[in-house]
Structures are given as structure tokens and as C-alpha cells.
Structure 1
Amino acid sequence: MNAPQGSLSLRRYGASHGSHAHPHFQILLGLDGVLELEVQGRGRRIAAGQGCVIAPGEHHDFESREGSRCIVLDTPHAGWARCAADPAHAEQALALGNYLAHALQQRGSLAQHYGPALLLESWQPLTQHAPRTTRYRRPIDWEQLAAWTQQRLHEPLSVAQLAAQVFLSPTQFAARCRRETGLSVMHWLRRQRLELALRLRDRGMSVADTALHCGYHSPSALTAALRRQSNASQAQ
């Protein structure tokens, strides 16, 4: 049964039979021995696990003084035009080649049908046939989280509670907070306290009540925070 990807065979090489060319790709994978190869005047040696991709129309000649065995694929498959001379995964390719060499001699084997595609796969880098997947990252609505937080600043809030609101672990949330806001979680939380405190004071709420609503330990702690904010604003 011939596969649409090409014709696969096991060949033994010895003395040269002269230079020739094919209208299709010819791929060689060394199994044992050393094959001396000349393609378009360029020399190459193929040992076990090494290979060669001969493009359509390229003149080539083979010789092996001690004898060698190779898996040979004759194929029009355009994918081979993007492959380097040697397999990307030499050990796996050699194991595959030895299996195909055995399977090709078994009656009813599917090696001829599936072997060409498997051989191409062993030649290509993994990135060509296994694209990297991008993990979906749920966006954090920082404005919504800030509104939720400011309604609860009178309570002791933990990193875990904040992380749970955006369906992240505390570690993931801390990393995202640092990356997306430039602040640690505790610094971000202090900012929420201060922003709410400034709004409440602008509305005329007393320092004591504002401190209670915003989670400050005492009115003096709120006063000190507002003073630091004022000094920072004047310094800018």
C-alpha cells in the first residue's frame, strides 16, 4: 500500500552507481555504516542517526566502502523543503528508522503508509508541529476591585480575600498586582484607604469617623497618613 506522502524503502549501499537526479525529494536516514555522499559537488558523510535531504533536480552520487544501510524516502511532499539535512531529533529518528527497517519486511505492515509522515515529524523541530499555547489570563477589573475594597475597609482585609474576588490564588494575585499596578498588595490597599479617607474628609466627615470607616487604628494614624500625602503632593 503506497502512501500519498511518498515511497519508503530500506537500501544497502556499496560501490558508486554514478551521478543522477530525481524530480522529487529523496531523504536518507543512516542506520549503520558510513555512506559517502556528494550532492551538487558538495561532500557529506551519513552515519547512524544522520541524514540528508536531496532536493528535486539535485545531482548526487553515493558510495560506501564498508557498506551501509539507510532508510530512503522518495517523496514530492513540499514540507521537506523546510527541513535541514539532519533530523531535528537524531536519537528518535534512528529508533524510528530501525523500526521501519524491520516493519518494511513484514507482510501487511502499515510502515509504508504511515512511515513517511512519521519520518517528516522526526525531522522537524517541535515548534513547527506543536505550537506553543497561550494560557488564558482573566483580566482584573481594578476599578471594580477598588470599589469592593473601599466598602469594606472598616474590616481587616487579607490578601487571600482580595485574591478570591478575582478568582486567583494569593500568590498569583500578588504577582499580578505588582505587575499591573506597580504596587505591592499592601501598598495598593493603603492607597484605597487613603483615597476613601480624602473623599470622606472632603464631605465634612470628622477625623475620628473617617479613621473608623477607612480602617485606620486611630485618628492620629489617619492624620499622619494625610500629612504624608500632602507633603508628597507638594514635593511633586
Structure 2
Amino acid sequence: MSLFDLRACTLGHEHIAHAHAHHQLILATCGVTELEIEGHGDRVTGGRGCLIPYAHHHEYEGDGENRTLVLNLPLGALGTLRDGEDMERLFDRPRFFPVPARLNQLAGTLMVQLEQYPALHSEIAALLLRALYLHLEDRTAAADPGFPFARRANERLDLARLNAWIDRHLADDIRVEQLAALCALSPGHFHACFRELTGTTPLAHVQGRRLDHARALIRHGSLSLGHIAALIGFRDQGSFSRAYRRHFDLAPSMERQRALAICRVAGKSS
């Protein structure tokens, strides 16, 4: 095995059970993998990763739709990195851990880079490890669960699942109580956990997804702005336009004019 063995893959429906003589980090950008370490199970998702120290028996089965980063680390490999001795603590015991949105986004970016530039897999692996180390170091020791894994409330937040639900209900009046119920949490507790995980409030997150969806419709469709406003849950075009301008620093009408101009230029050049 090379110093850092990092690969991007899709874990299928086959049930695998084994142990290995190296540490392993597993992160997913989407999908679900059911994983059990010495009798203690959990799920690897876009919002939840896993660290498996060497010689620990584990079993897993993917959903066939995940995109997963698997990093295998020979014993002693971390010693080649800055803060390597401290980073060895990442693997002092098996654990699942919450993956905030910013770390999930970084994993997605690095997955693309890995697929485009496989020769850089060691450098990409080192960057990923450093980011994970800094993320876990920011968490207090009291909040860091030990083995077996006692799932904390904010680790019940499957952000990918929440986003999928939000996107299906953009035209509706989405309330924090509804999102909290999806995670089996009280609204107050959900709000606090969501802010800890994403750095923003649930309703601000919903608003951002509404406006991102609106931008795609404006750029790539011909629906009127009023129709788009209704589709994403605004009561009228005026409130939609004001929110859009605050979010993107650009009026939706100007966004459409830019998109049309780009299309005209592309049509002339083709």
C-alpha cells in the first residue's frame, strides 16, 4: 500500500465483513452506507463520517447510490505530516462523527479533483485529513462521543435528507416544527443543533435553497418571475424580488437579462 491510499467509489449492496491492518477514514458526499464496528452500528451519509482504527472488525453494505471517499492509512503514515503525532489521535478508537456542511462540500470538491488528477491522491488525502483534524479539534472533548457510539442530538441531522424534503416543498409554508419532526427533535433543540452543524438558522437555510432554485429557473427557463415566485413559496413577486436582490446583490430581472444576453452571444457564435 502507498503512503496514502485514497479512492472515490460507490459502495454497492454486497455485504462485506472484514478487518484490516491499517486505519481507515470513510466520508460520503451523498447516499447511505450501513456500517457496524464490532457490534455497534450507524450510517455513513453526507452528514456523518466514520473512523476505523486498524484491526477492528467491521461490516458494511452500501445503497448502491452513494459516492464515498475511502482513505486507507498504513500504521505510521501520519508521522510524515505536520502535526502527525497529534493526528494519530483521530484513530485512538472507532467512532462516527458529524460532518458539517463545509466539510461535506470540501469532500465533494476533493472527490472531483481526485477523479480528474489521480496522481495527486496523496496530496488530496493529506488535505482531507488536515481538514478533518481541525474540525474534530474544534469540538470539545466533552462533546466528542466515545465508543460505543452514543448518538448526540445534532448527529441525527441528516442534511442531505432534510434538503431533499425542503426541495420537494419549496412552494409550501415550511416551518421549523416540520423540519424538527423529521429528525425526532424538539423545535428548540433542532434549531440549536442545526445552527451548530451549518452555521446558519433553519429558516435562513430554507430561504437560501428557495433562491438558489429560483436562480436556476431564471437562468435556464422562460417562466415569468411571478410564476417562479409562486413556485418557490413567495406570496408575491415584490417580496421575491427584494429577497433575491438581498441574497445575490442582483435583481431577478437583471439576472434574466444577463442570461438572455449570454444565450444570444452563444447563438451567434455557434
User: Which interval holds the TM-score relative to the shorter structure?
Assistant: 0.3 to 0.5
Higher share in helix = 2
**Which of these two proteins has the greater Rg computed from alpha carbons?**
1
TM-score (norm 1): 0.46
TM-score (norm 2): 0.41
